[in-house]
Amino acid sequence: MSFSDPSHTIAQFDLQSGAHVADLGAGSGALTFAASRAVGGAGRVYAIEVQKDLLERLKNSARHERLHNIEALWGDVERVQGTHLKTATLDAAIASNVLFQVEDREGFAKEIARILKPAGKVLLIDWSGSFGGTGPRSDHVVPEQTARLLFEQQGFRFVRSIQAGAHHYGLIFKRT
């Protein structure tokens, strides 16, 4: 499998020192940790995850790595207020390998819009295909154009694409 290096992915997102960021559907925390290092001690990364066992592992890994600017929170990224984050408080959000799993895609995009400050940005990474069992089932894949339209309909402006590995697309949007 050809997945992109988390540090390279986050470098393309250009997070600023001191930024407040949410990693939505943080999973094992690879992008959370890269974002934590990018925003530094003055920044904050909220790792939002619905699976409690993954949250515990993420918390332990963050402690082990001495990354003290990470706050791991249980949350449901599919519904408005589901992340438990305050409205318009974040500079950026990351959603990697989440969109294909989300049932309420519109609710997901609305929640991201809610938590971001005006002009906040989002990095969306998702599977570009099914790849014979490597990725999600083909009927769960969200094509890049569909993802782009979803976010544009929620008031985001497409900024640019990034390199996200051989089996993924990466899109950066800005809240307008």
pLDDT tens per residue across span 44-97: 999 999 999 999 999 999 999 999 999 999 999 998 999 999 999 999 999 999
Domain ranges of the chain: 6-129
pTM above 0.75, yes or no: yes
The string of pLDDT tens digits covering residues 100-134 is 999 999 999 999 999 999 999 999 999 999 887 78
**Host H or E run for residue 115:** helix 105-115
So what's the pLDDT on residue 130?
86
CATH 2.160.10.10 fits 6-129, yes or no: no
Report the C-alpha gap between 169 and 129 in whole angstroms.
10
So what's the pLDDT on residue 170?
97
Contacts for 120 with CB less than 8 Å, ≥ 6 apart = 88, 90, 91, 92, 93, 174, 175
Contacts for 65 with CB less than 8 Å, ≥ 6 apart = 33
